[in-house]
Amino acid sequence: MNLMDTAGKDVPTESATEWGQGFMLLLSLTCRASLERAIFLGSWLQAQGKPFVLVATKTDLMHDRQVSALELQQLSHKWQVPFFETSATGDYEDVARPFAAVWRGTRTWCDRKALFPSITTPPSPDEYRKYKTRQM
């Protein structure tokens, strides 16, 4: 597994998603702005059709928490991705679980791509709608 840290990059690049086969989207539980950024990046990754997991960090700073667990659960359900809460001060298992989930998602994606090389992401409901408006 090769890792690329893209923290601080304002706009995701095509080369970053071409380089990676799986992604770990991290956000801080103590910073509401990181949730907004994660929503933007998660939507962008989903449009690229690449597997990713949602990881909320800094669970040890519960007194400073600004992002609720319910918000994150709803977001992970919407994107249909695994969701984890962890802390760098936590035990090994808490930190290793998101990495294992990214690896599993990436393996599944690669296996599926090998079986069906021309696979594309399913069209969004809006794409179906634009064709219906053209029908006579």
Domain assignments of the chain as residue spans, ordered by start? 20-132
3-state secondary structure 95-128: HHHHHHHHHHHHHHHHHHHHHCCCCCCCCCHHHH
In this prediction, residue 46 carries a pLDDT of: 82
Overall residue count recorded for the chain in this entry: 136
User: Which secondary structure element, helix H or strand E, spans residue 19, and what is its range?
Assistant: helix 14-19
Give domain 20-132's CATH architecture: 3-Layer(aba) Sandwich (3.40)
Print pLDDT tens along the chain (136 aa): 666 666 666 666 666 667 677 888 888 888 888 888 888 888 888 877 778 888 888 877 888 878 888 888 888 888 888 889 888 887 888 888 888 888 888 888 878 777 776 665 555 555 555 555 555 5
Per DSSP bridges, beta strands 23-28 and 83-85 are unpaired
